[in-house]
Structure formats: C-alpha cells, structure tokens
Amino acid sequence: MSRNQRKSLSGELVRSAIQHSFIKLNPRVMFRNPIMFVVEVGMIITFLLCIWPNAFGGESSRAFNIVTTIILFLTVLFANFAEALAEGRGKAQADSLKQTKKDVAARKLQSDGTVKNVPATDLRKGDIVIVDAGEMIPGDGEVISGLASVDESAITGESAPVIKEAGGDFSSVTGGTRVVSDSIKIRITTDPGESFLDRMISLVEGAKRQKTPNEIALNTVLISLTLIFLLVVVTLPVLSKYVHVSLEVPILIALLVCLIPTTIGGLLSAIGIAGMDRVTQFNVLAMSGKAVEAAGDINTIILDKTGTITFGNRMASDFVPVNGVSIADLAGWAALSSMADETPEGRSVLEYMKKQNLVYNAELAQGSQFIEFKAETRMSGTDLRDGRQVRKGAVDSVKKWVLANGGNVPSDLGSKSDEIARVGGTPLAVAVDNQIYGLIYLKDTVKPGMRERFEQLRAMGIKTIMCTGDNPLTAATIAKEAGVDDFIAESKPEDKIAVIRREQAEGKLVAMTGDGTNDAPALAQADVGLAMNTGTIAAKEAANMVDLDSNPTKIIEVVSIGKQLLMTRGALTTFSIANDIAKYFAIIPAMFMVAIPQMEALNIMRLGSPTSAILSALVFNAIIIPLLIPLAMKGVAYKPMSSSALLRRNLFVYGLGGVIVPFIGIKLIDLIVNLWV
C-alpha cells in the first residue's frame, strides 16, 4: 500500500473503466446521478426520433437527430468513464488487499489448555490464539502475552518489521500480517467480516463510498438547477409561439443539456472518490469521506509532544563545564564514555560533537572495558587501559561515586544542573576518577522541519496546540522552539477533551492525533481523529482515520488533502457554471435568429449557422468532461493561503477561465462542424 506499490493509470485500468462505463448506462444505475440521468433520457428521446422523426408531431431532421444522439451518448459515457476510472483505482487497491485476506489456520487455545487448529473464519471476539514465527496472524487482536517482531508490509507497505508486545500502546495486531520472530498469544477483538482489513477493503472500493454531507448539499443544488432549467425548457415552446417560432424536441433537449450543470454533474462522484484515494496514497485509511472533508475545514489541531513534535528521546544539546574546566576537555571525556554506548543518549553525544566540530582522542578507548548503564548505579562509562575510570550519569549518582573515590564536588555543579532542569532538560554529570568535569545537557529535541510545518498550518489559518505531561517551563521551551501557537502543560486525558470541547464550542473544527487507550476519548470527541496503526484497538476504534505508517505529523498532509478536495469540487463547480454563459450565446441566438433577426446581436462568436451552433455547444459540453478528468483525479494544486485569497484565485482561474475557454472551444468546433453542415 505504499505509494510505490500503487497502480497508476495502466492500460488494464483504463480498459476496465471503459467496460464499466457501458455497464453504468443501465437506467437503474444512472438514476443515482440525476443530472446525467436527464441527459440519458434526452439521448433515448433523440434516438427514437432517429427512427421516427415525426414522432412528436414535428419535422426534425433525421441527420441532426442522429448526430445529437451520438453526442449525448458520448456525454453520458464520458461521465461514466470518469466515475469508473476513480472507482477502478480503489478496486485495484482492494484487490491487492484481498490477496492478503486468505483462509489461514489458527491455533486456538481451548478452555482446558489444549490447542486446536481451526479456520481463521471460525474465530470470534474473545477467542485466544497462539502465533509462532513464520505464521500468519489470523485476525485483529491484542497481544496478551509475549513479544514478537511482526511483518506488516502487506498492510502498510513498509518492509521493516515492528515489535509487538503485551500491554502498552504497541499491543494491537492486524489480521493478515505475519510474525517474523518469537511467539505471541493474541486475544481476537473482532468477528468475521468486521476486521480492520475487511473495513479497509470495503472503504477503498469507490462503489461502496457514501456521499459526504457537502457533496449531498452540492448535489441538491445541482438537482434544483436541473429542475429549474427543465421547467424553463418545457414551457419554452408555449412562449415561443408568441413570436411564431417552432422549436423541435431535439433542439429543446440540446438546450436543456447545455443549460444544466453536466460538467460538474459528470465529475462530482469522481472528485469524491479520488479525494479518498489521495488519502490512501499517504497510507491513511479514512473511515468515511466525511472525515476527509472535515479535515479540509479544520481550524485547530491538537498534537502530542513526545513522538510527534519531538523525537521522544533525550539528546545531547550542550556541554556545560564546571570549576573552570574547558569545553574541549569535558567533550573529550564525554565522548570516551559514550563510544560504546548504543543508547539514543550515548549516540547523540558523538553526533553533537560532530556538529560542533569538537575532537577527542579515540585511541584512549582501545582495549577499554565498557560499563553498561544499570538502574542501581544510574551510570555508564568506560574503564581505560591505563586504569582511569570515566563515568557519566545522573548527577547525584556521579557525585556519590566521586566522593567514594576521594574527590570533591565542584561548588557550581548544583547551580548549573538546577538551571538545566528548570528549562526542562536533563543534566548528566561526567567524571574521571575523582574529578567531575561538567554536565551534558540532554533535552527532547524538536524534529527537523516542525517549525516550517507549523508555519504552513498558520498560513492555512489553523491553530496548533501542543499537549504534554511536562512541567510548564519545559512545555514553554519546547513550544517556543517548535513554533506552536499554544500549549497545555501537565496534560491529562481529560484536559485534551476539555480543550477540544472548548474549541468546538467556539464553532471550530478540531483534529487530533493519538495512539494510546487514554487518547481514545479525545479522538472520539475530535472532528478528525487520526489514530496510529501501532496504537491500541481502542484508539483505532475511536478515531475516524488510521495512519498505517504511524506518523503523527501526517495530520498536516491529511488537512492539505481535505482542503484540496474541497477546492477541487469548488473549482470545477465554478468552471461548470461559468461554462453556461458561452453556451447561452451559442444556442439561444441559434434558436430565435430566424424569427427575431435582432437576436443576431447575441451571436458574438459569429457561429456559422443555427445547426452548427447547437451541435458545437453540444460537442464542447461532451468533450470538456474527459478533458477535466485528470484534474478531478489529481486535484487542484493547494498552496497555504487565506480563505479570501483562495476565493479570489478560484474565481479568477476557474470562474474567468470557465467563461473564456468555452467561447474559444465552441468557436473552434463550429469552424469544423460548419464545414460538414
């Protein structure tokens, strides 16, 4: 499911979409799209007129009727193709997921303690199974005993196995993944047909996608416009009699098709399906289209500090010497104590020295003995070949060790370690034998690029709030460094819910990321809850989105995709409605010019004849749909800016463009059609 694994618009996908375009011509299927259903009904009427030109009492041209029928048929077919193509991408993804969902045997633990082999489909919620290395996990569940490395590449697309263990936030496992090493005992948490993979398959299949509230509202507006224009066209023959103009049924159908918003009507479903598809491209599973749309309207984002804004590991950020020691001497001994230290803190000491261009004598460590960190001593270090002992660790522990070796504690050690602690850092003392050289300032480091990402959100008009269990001073330091708008220190689960409710009470939409059971209430309360796939079942059930890569910062991409979906729909709606202006100037003069010569003034495009004008407008109305399919699938490019700036750009590009392009297109088509007519 990674982006590299996803299928592009292959020939097979296009062929399948063409096939389904014809299948969708079934009136029962077309009725779900009222606008295109009206076009199909018009096509059927003109087709009947091809056989019986005088069926409705008129004297319509059989040749005109045939051409009109073909154009209307292509209009419906192009609209079906747009939807089928969007659905096809989802179905292709679903097919690959179904390969993962195979009938596997499960080793179910019986009540008497024995193990019985049963099909995975027989497992029910609450059953306990044992899965060893090399075996497939038979269903969604939680690890209740053991620790194992699990290959989740079938779900996430990432090849690196992840560690799953009982308890904590990494106990959730997904059916269809494989245990790589060790053995775990799992409690099944879903019944057949309700698993994460089952929901994933049904959600990525566009045909099963439910329309979102905004989409339903827009559809209602478009249907209303269609009904209004239908009434206008139906009453037009009666009114035209007063000016002694006889309007044939095919011309009235052509007028209706050009007046109703066929462009957006044909692309609306494809836009929604493609929006969901774009979310899955980022390995995010949206439980509904409503969640994607809501992401586009988000005003506030609640983010955890640890693991989201910061790395979650304490890293060296400074050397603080004591008692007149030079930074070079302190850094040298700190490096020697960390050369064999594979903890994140130990590696960060050497990385910080490289950044600061500090050097040390690595030869001193040759043949030395590394002293691992122990909870009892709270220190680690190195015993050198020459007998010297180097230690780093908690300040109190190092002080006791130095005093036990007959040394003294520097007078400024306490004040400098307290200063580091006050700003939220962790001081590690560095000593050699009976002398303390200074302190390593460790702090939870903000991830690179976070400040820029928060600036992007600010440009979108989105407020960021950091939640952390740290003390206010530490929280303020991290918040300032990361560039968030606000923070909540010493945060508890109920505090997160309180801030979400406070923002919602002000009429704002709120998004939140989380992975633990304690995050579940807040994820459920938020308008957009993004749970991590590595998180608990409770968190994933409460959220309306799941990030398969378990990257908490991906909420920023989700917001961008949501905004892109709303922009694409708005842009193409604007373009579609603006198109009608040119069609009015093409068809209406053509209908009345003979009886009302003054209507020639409206023929500003100087179209060749009434017949070519009507056909040109119909042809443009048909071909604009497939021309806009790539834009509907890819989405309008989104750049962070204010709502007013977005509206101006939308009106200028798609409003003005929607007026100009049809004038040019219809005129060019008329030049070709007029030669034939």
**What tens digit of pLDDT does each residue of 216-236 get?**
888 888 899 899 989 988 888
Q: Is residue 286 a contact partner of residue 296, using CB atoms and an 8 Å limit?
A: no
**Segment 117-138 mean pLDDT:** 87
Q: Is residue 26 a contact partner of residue 84, using CB atoms and an 8 Å limit?
A: no
**Is residue 294 scored above 60 in pLDDT?**
yes
Least confident span in 129-143, 183-197, 198-212, 490-504: 198-212
CA angle 88/94/100 to nearest 5° reads 150
**Is residue 487 scored above 50 in pLDDT?**
yes
Residues 6+ apart with CB under 8 A from 511: 295, 298, 300, 301, 302, 526, 527, 528, 529, 530, 555, 558, 559
Question: Looking at residue 533, what DSSP letter applies?
Answer: T
What CA–CA distance (Å, rounded) separates 354 from 445?
Answer: 17
Q: Which two tokens stand for residue 553?
A: 């910062």
660 against 91, higher pLDDT = 660
Topology (CATH) of 284-309+447-548: Rossmann fold (3.40.50)
Annotation-wise, does 374 bind a ligand? yes
Annotation-wise, does 392 bind a ligand? yes
**CB count in 10 Å sphere of residue 604:** 13
Topology (CATH) of 312-445: Calcium-transporting ATPase, cytoplasmic domain N (3.40.1110)
* Sign (positive or negative) of CA dihedral 539, 540, 544, 547: positive
The pLDDT assigned to 7 comes to 43
Residues 6+ apart with CB under 8 A from 183: 130, 131, 132, 133, 146, 148
**Segment 23-39 mean pLDDT:** 90
Annotation-wise, does 56 bind a ligand? no
Question: Looking at residue 652, what DSSP letter applies?
Answer: I
Q: Which amino acid is at 407?
A: G
pTM of structure: 0.65
| 197-200, long-range: CB < 8 A, 24+ apart | 197/97, 197/100, 197/101, 197/140, 197/155, 198/101, 199/285, 199/287, 200/97, 200/155, 200/285
Cα-to-chain-centroid distance, residue 592: 51
| CA-wise closest residue to 84 among 10, 22, 7, 5 | 22
The pLDDT assigned to 8 comes to 44
Q: Is residue 586 a contact partner of residue 617, using CB atoms and an 8 Å limit?
A: yes
CA angle 313/434/321 to nearest 5° reads 50
Annotation-wise, does 277 bind a ligand? no
Annotation-wise, does 481 bind a ligand? no
Annotation-wise, does 154 bind a ligand? no
| CA-wise closest residue to 280 among 291, 267, 269, 265 | 291
Annotation-wise, does 300 bind a ligand? no
Q: Which strand (E) or helix (H) includes residue 505?
A: helix 493-505
517 against 352, higher pLDDT = 352
- Scan for tokens 């409503």, then name that residue: 290
**Is residue 580 scored above 90 in pLDDT?**
no
**Is residue 436 scored above 90 in pLDDT?**
yes
The pLDDT assigned to 43 comes to 93
Task: Please report, for residues 63, 77, 349, 381, 392, the alpha-carbon distance to residue 370 in angstroms, rounded to integers and kept in the order given.
Answer: 93, 73, 16, 6, 12
Question: Looking at residue 653, what DSSP letter applies?
Answer: I
Residues 6+ apart with CB under 8 A from 449: none
Annotation-wise, does 151 bind a ligand? no
Going by pLDDT thresholds of 50, 70 and 90, the confidence category of residue 3 is very low
Class of domain 124-191: mainly beta
Going by pLDDT thresholds of 50, 70 and 90, the confidence category of residue 207 is very low
The pLDDT assigned to 643 comes to 67
- Farthest-apart Cα atoms in the chain, separation: 118
**Is residue 292 scored above 90 in pLDDT?**
no
Q: Is residue 227 a contact partner of residue 536, using CB atoms and an 8 Å limit?
A: no
What CA–CA distance (Å, rounded) separates 200 from 204?
Answer: 6
pLDDT digits (tens, 9 = 90+) for 309-347: 777 667 888 999 998 899 999 999 999 998 888 777 888
Q: Is residue 592 a contact partner of residue 567, using CB atoms and an 8 Å limit?
A: no
Task: Please report, for residues 18, 62, 233, 402, 580, the alpha-carbon distance to residue 618 in angstroms, rounded to integers and kept in the order given.
Answer: 22, 17, 16, 91, 11
Annotation-wise, does 667 bind a ligand? no
Q: Which amino acid is at 588?
A: I
| 119-122, long-range: CB < 8 A, 24+ apart | 120/175, 121/192
What CA–CA distance (Å, rounded) separates 185 from 192?
Answer: 19
**Is residue 72 scored above 80 in pLDDT?**
yes
Q: Is residue 296 a contact partner of residue 559, using CB atoms and an 8 Å limit?
A: yes
**Segment 631-641 mean pLDDT:** 79
What CA–CA distance (Å, rounded) separates 321 from 358?
Answer: 14
**Cα-flanking dihedrals φ and ψ of residue 287, to 5°?**
-70, -15
Instruction: Please indicate whether residue 304 is annotated as part of the active site.
Output: yes
| CA-wise closest residue to 131 among 197, 175, 192 | 175
Least confident span in 237-251, 447-461, 470-484: 237-251
Annotation-wise, does 98 bind a ligand? no
- For residue 391, the cross-strand partners are 381, 431
- Scan for tokens 């600036």, then name that residue: 455
Annotation-wise, does 379 bind a ligand? yes
What CA–CA distance (Å, rounded) separates 43 from 41?
Answer: 5
Annotation-wise, does 343 bind a ligand? no
**Is residue 267 scored above 80 in pLDDT?**
yes
The pLDDT assigned to 202 comes to 63
The pLDDT assigned to 42 comes to 92
DSSP states along 428-445: EEEEETTEEEEEEEEEEE
Tell me which of 151, 304, 527, 549 is the catalytic residue: 304
The pLDDT assigned to 96 comes to 57
Going by pLDDT thresholds of 50, 70 and 90, the confidence category of residue 60 is low
Annotation-wise, does 377 bind a ligand? yes
Region of residue 530 (phi > 0: left; psi between -120 and 50: alpha; otherwise: beta): beta
Going by pLDDT thresholds of 50, 70 and 90, the confidence category of residue 287 is confident
| CA-wise closest residue to 213 among 292, 97, 159 | 292
Could you tell me the residue ranges of all domains in the chain? 11-92+204-280+559-674, 124-191, 284-309+447-548, 312-445
The pLDDT assigned to 399 comes to 93
Least confident span in 79-83, 394-398, 445-449, 656-660: 445-449
The pLDDT assigned to 1 comes to 40
The pLDDT assigned to 157 comes to 52
The pLDDT assigned to 100 comes to 54
